[in-house]
Amino acid sequence: MSLGKAGSEAAIGFLVIGAGRMGKLHARHLAGAVDGARLVRVVDADGAAAARAAYGGAESGTDLAAALADPVVQAVVIASPTTLHAEHLMAAARAGKAIFCEKPVAQDLASTAEALAVVADAGVPFQIGFNRRYDPGFAEVARAVHAGELGRVEMFRSQSSDPTPPPEGYVATSGGIYVDSVIHDIDMARFVAGEVTRVTALGRVLVAPYLEKHGDVDTSILTLEFASGAIGVLQNTRRTAYGYDLRVEVHCERGKVVSEAERATNVWRYGEGGIRGDYVYYFLERFRDAYLVEVQAFVSALLAGERPTPGPEDAIESLRVAVAARASLGRGEPVHVAENRE
């Protein structure tokens, strides 16, 4: 009765490394939702977790080297703990696999550059998980700007408000708000308006006092100067009472284009006290589409023989701006991004 498998001839075989929340989500997408891909293996130090993520009949296990040796595996998704990204990335590159890596490659510029040099040597395709570039709203903003529909960019604005601050244990090794979180806003700024030349950070600890001892802040305004002459501002906070609040707004010569904050549903309640609407809680809900679309874009690029994007240069340049922002916060003055470029 069998006439064949759905699209299997051309489908790229995927290994997912790491079966936590994001790894499991990627595995599920690769098993049933991404055209041109199929999930063949899932690896995690916790074998039971790997098994739970092995959707659609994929193999699962704990041995990464064995999995990378499997010729059916043509591409990997790296969703392991952040501190292992660089190691897993270099192993996958050396095994000749195409790589989709959750951000960041590493928290410092040196380790990031080292790992990406291995990727470059191996000549394998590489995409970094700056998921916002594939959010339908953010992507449409970028598309309209890149197409020149509104003329030159004059002012960029991005806002990201998290519902809760990270726990202290996380903060200690996170690299601070700029490298850990604002980097997403920085990458969108670069994507939309081009390279950033100078940054000035203004930050405060208003929410989570334990941030003080790590030199970190929870409330930040970061101003950007772009090579193009445009200016920009990123507003970030680590606590809202209502959920996750993101917005990108690009003021151009002939108009402005905005990706509005998102609500959980399109429902409005009218009653005593006026109108009420709900709100999206956090990133898993907010970027549900983007997490699928970015991997689809990776697969489509591989199938088309094109470079996936955002690529290694984005992984490193967005980090470079974040590192400059952290330096500006510390020094209390503007910092040139080129300081960190040799």
User: According to CB under 8 A, which residues from 167 to 226 bind its own copies?
Assistant: 200, 202-204, 206-207, 219-221, 223, 225
Buried b (16+ CB within 10 A) or exposed e, 47-65: eebbeebbbeebbbeeebe
Question: Using CB under 8 A, which of 169, 271, 305, 342 touches its own copies?
Answer: 271
Binds its own copies by CB under 8 A, chosen from 282, 333, 338, 339 = 333
If one asks whether residue 273 binds its own copies (CB under 8 A), the answer comes out as: yes
Smallest gap, in angstroms, from Cβ of residue 265 to its own copies?
5
- Enumerate residues 6+ apart whose C-beta is below 8 A from 194: 153, 226, 227, 228, 230
Distance of CA 159 to the CA centre of its chain: 15
Q: Taking CB under 8 A as the criterion, which residues in 62-91 touch its own copies?
A: 62-63, 66-67
Judged by CB under 8 A, the stretch of 76-84, 90-98, 168-176, 236-244 that binds its own copies is 236-244
CA end-to-end distance (rounded Å), the chain: 63
Q: Which of residues 111-130 bind its own copies (CB under 8 A)?
A: none
Instruction: Name the nearest CA neighbour of 325 among 186, 229, 192, 206.
Output: 186
Query: Any contact of residue 54 with its own copies (CB under 8 A)?
Result: yes
Q: Cβ of residue 38: shortest distance to its own copies, in angstroms? A: 8
From the CB of 277, what's the least distance to its own copies, in Å? Answer: 5
The answer to whether the beta carbons of residues 141 and 257 sit under 8 Å apart is yes
Distance, in Å, from the CA atom of 94 to the CA atom of 230, rounded to the nearest integer, reads 40
Binding piece for its own copies, criterion CB under 8 A, among 32-40, 77-85, 86-94, 175-183: 32-40
How many chain residues interact with its own copies (CB under 8 A)?
A: 100
Q: What is the closest distance, in whole angstroms, from the C-beta atom of residue 57 to its own copies in the complex?
A: 5
Indicate the residue among 49 and 90 with the shorter CB distance to its own copies.
49
Are 308 and 302 contacting, i.e. CB atoms less than 8 angstroms apart?
yes
Q: Measured from the CB atom, is 74 or 259 closer to its own copies?
A: 259
Residue (258 or 284) nearer to its own copies, CB: 258
| C-alpha distances in Å from residue 309, one per residue of 94, 99, 184, 314 | 20, 11, 15, 8
CA gap 248, 139 in Å, rounded: 10
| Beta bridge pairs of residue 17 | 43, 78
Neighbours of 253 (CB within 10 A): 11
Instruction: Candidates 122, 144, 301, 303: give the one binding its own copies (CB under 8 A).
Output: 144
Under the criterion CB under 8 A, does residue 336 sit at the interface with its own copies? no
- How far apart are CB 40 and its own copies at their closest, in Å? 11
What is the rounded distance in angstroms from the CA atom of residue 98 to the CA atom of residue 71?
A: 12
- CB 263, min distance to its own copies, A: 7
Nearest CB to its own copies, comparing residues 215 and 255: 255
**Dihedral Cα 188, 131, 237, 215, nearest 10 deg:** -90
Task: Decide whether 98 or 139 has the Cβ nearer to its own copies.
Answer: 139
Contact map string, positions 241 to 270, toward its own copies, x by CB under 8 A: xxx-x-----x-xxxxxxxxxxxxxxxxxx
Residue 178 CB, nearest distance to its own copies (Å)? 15
Give the pairing type, strands 75-78 and 12-17: parallel
Say how many C-beta atoms besides its own lie within 10 A of residue 99's C-beta.
25
Instruction: Considering only the stretches 58-66, 72-80, 107-115, 295-303, report the one whose residues sit in contact with its own copies under the rule CB under 8 A.
Output: 58-66
Contact indicator for 151, 197 with CB cutoff of 8 Å: no
Query: CB-wise, 30 or 188, nearer to its own copies?
Result: 30
Which of 233, 316, 322, 329 binds its own copies (CB under 8 A)? It is 233
